[in-house]
Amino acid sequence: MNSMLLERARETRCTRGEGLTAVAISIVLTVLCAVGCAVATTTTTPQRSVTGWTAPDERVASTASARRRALTRLGLASGARRIALVTLGCDACDRAVRDLDWRGTTVVIISPSPLKEMDVWASRLKLRHVRYISVAPRTFEALGAVELPAIIEVLDGEYKRVRADGKL
């Protein structure tokens, strides 16, 4: 089957070193579906942002033990909750937090900014329903966000799923 796929790719003037073009990808996926394969993934360029919920290991740059220690220090390691990792001055973070607050979503906002700055920020955004915590940059790093804002579902100190587009 692999030789057939490579032959189809060559017919569309693609080589393994150059990557597959959109036409070749379409052909490959059509062939894979025709022979009953369940999953086919071909990526020619990295994607910057993934929408929707993903597994923590795909979207987080820290170990599970580092995340658990950071959550324990913050008193967030027990029970089920949502946390949002943000930075001040990030327009996407502001929009996400405003949306979460507007919905009345129970979420803990975590930022490496000083608490006084966060108070001003929360006042400016007119936040009423969210709790926010200022953490040291090292703790924020241990929480592992790669793209901000990151909304994370946590159950007993373990990340269950992550969303990097700031939506629920």
pLDDT in tens, 34-82: 333 333 333 333 344 446 898 888 889 999 999 999 999 999 999 999 9
pLDDT in tens, 105-158: 789 999 999 999 999 999 999 998 889 999 999 999 999 988 999 999 999 999
Evaluate whether 101 touches 125 at the Cβ level (below 8 Å): yes
Domain spans of the chain, in order of start: 2-34, 56-163
User: DSSP states of 107-128 as a string?
Assistant: -EEEESS-HHHHHHHHHHHT--
Architecture of domain 56-163: 3-Layer(aba) Sandwich (3.40)
* Model pLDDT, residue 51: 63
